[in-house]
Amino acid sequence: MIIVEVLYFADFKDISGKSRELFLLEKKSLRELIDLIIGKYPKIKDLILENNDNKIKNTISIAINDNITKSIDLNISLNNEDKIAFLLPFSGG
């Protein structure tokens, strides 16, 4: 088992009411983490997953330990004390 920290921003923070949260994972996968988050906050599902539930929306970026990517495999392994953030598109001005 591992513990990972999820950082919430924007709509994710509004839905969860938190800026960060720890999750205990048995399978150590991103998919397991997303399932736990959605189980706790069902409204987040529409932000993260495509309708078929097997793909992360292309509007979402995921940061794992400050490394940001737009295309990521749901079965990627996570490590103890990883920090994960789901990021919505943003613009500056």
**Residues, the chain, total?**
93
The answer on pLDDT for 82 being more than 80 is yes
The answer on pLDDT for 23 being more than 90 is yes
Residue 80: which CATH number? 3.10.20.30
Rounded to the nearest integer, the mean pLDDT of the chain is 91
Residue 56 in any domain: the answer is yes
Residue 92: per-residue pLDDT? 58
The answer on pLDDT for 24 being more than 60 is yes
Q: Which two three-digit tokens encode residue 31?
A: 């998919």
Residue 93 in any domain: the answer is no
Residue 18 in any domain: the answer is yes
Q: How many structural domains is the chain composed of?
A: 1
Nearest to 86 by CA among 3, 4, 9, 2: 9
Residue 68 in any domain: the answer is yes
Structural domain range at position 49: 2-87
Q: How confident is the model at residue 93 (pLDDT cuts 50, 70, 90)?
A: low
- For the chain, how big is the Rg over CA atoms in Å? 12
76 touches 30 (CB < 8 A): yes
